[in-house]
Amino acid sequence: MQTEKKSAKIYFVRHGQSEWNVANKICGATDIALTANGVEQAKAAGEKIKEMGIQIDEIRYSPLVRAARTASEIARIINAPLVQEPRLTEQCFGKYEGMPRDSKDFLAAKSEFVNDFEGGESMLHLAQRIYNLLDDLKQNGGGKNYLLVAHNGIARVIHSYFFNMTNAEYAAYGVKNCQIVEYDL
């Protein structure tokens, strides 16, 4: 008799509002704290997950403080174990970190997927590590439901893993702070 494989899901939550989100600066891998509003957003996301009856077996989170704090607030509410996942760290934008998000030079550089932003990480390298993580969860996850708490750049790559996207769609894709997105693993 064959046992039915449990349908696994990936839930993604972008961290709460950070100080540099408010200042409209490129955060990337720079470790920037949440605002008080960001902490409240994280708590609200935890409450929403609980209200929706979503069963999370494990929360994996970026080690950057804005994501780690968001994950911690959610975990307290839904009572799920936390596992730090370095592969969920936001892309390093090299010389552009701390600059205005709408910088023309940055937007042009960001359209080049092999560009490492002079000391950062290329989009292709970012995709490699996130795709490897998702492949690991798919192959070795044992049918668990995972909540991944990370960053907007990570959200784009995760979405592109599950859906075909043009370069323009990829560049335009984003999620709001503490938005919950669901994918079938």
**141: confidence class by pLDDT, cuts 50, 70, 90:** confident
Q: Which of 1-5, 63-67, 95-99, 124-128 has the lowest mean pLDDT?
A: 1-5
Active site residue ranges: 15, 90
Residue 5 pLDDT exceeds 70: no
Amino acid at 171: A
pTM equals: 0.94
Task: Report the mean per-residue pLDDT for the chain.
Answer: 94
Percent of the chain scored above 90 by pLDDT?
A: 88
Residue found under tokens 């092999």: 114
The pLDDT of residue 36 is 98
At 3, the pLDDT band (50, 70, 90 cuts) reads very low
Mean pLDDT of 60-82: 98
Q: Can you tell me the distance from the alpha carbon of 9 to that of 66, in angstroms, rounded to the nearest whole number?
A: 24
Q: How many CB atoms lie within 10 A of CB 122?
A: 17
Residue 138 pLDDT class (50, 70, 90 cuts):
very high
Cβ 116 vs Cβ 94: under 8 Å: yes
Sign of CA dihedral 101, 18, 125, 94: positive
Q: For position 171, what pLDDT does the model report?
A: 87
Q: What is the pLDDT of residue 6?
A: 59
The model's pLDDT over 110-129, given as tens digits with 9 standing for 90+, comes to: 888 999 999 999 999 999 99
Question: Distance between CA atoms of 53 and 34, rounded to whole angstroms?
Answer: 26
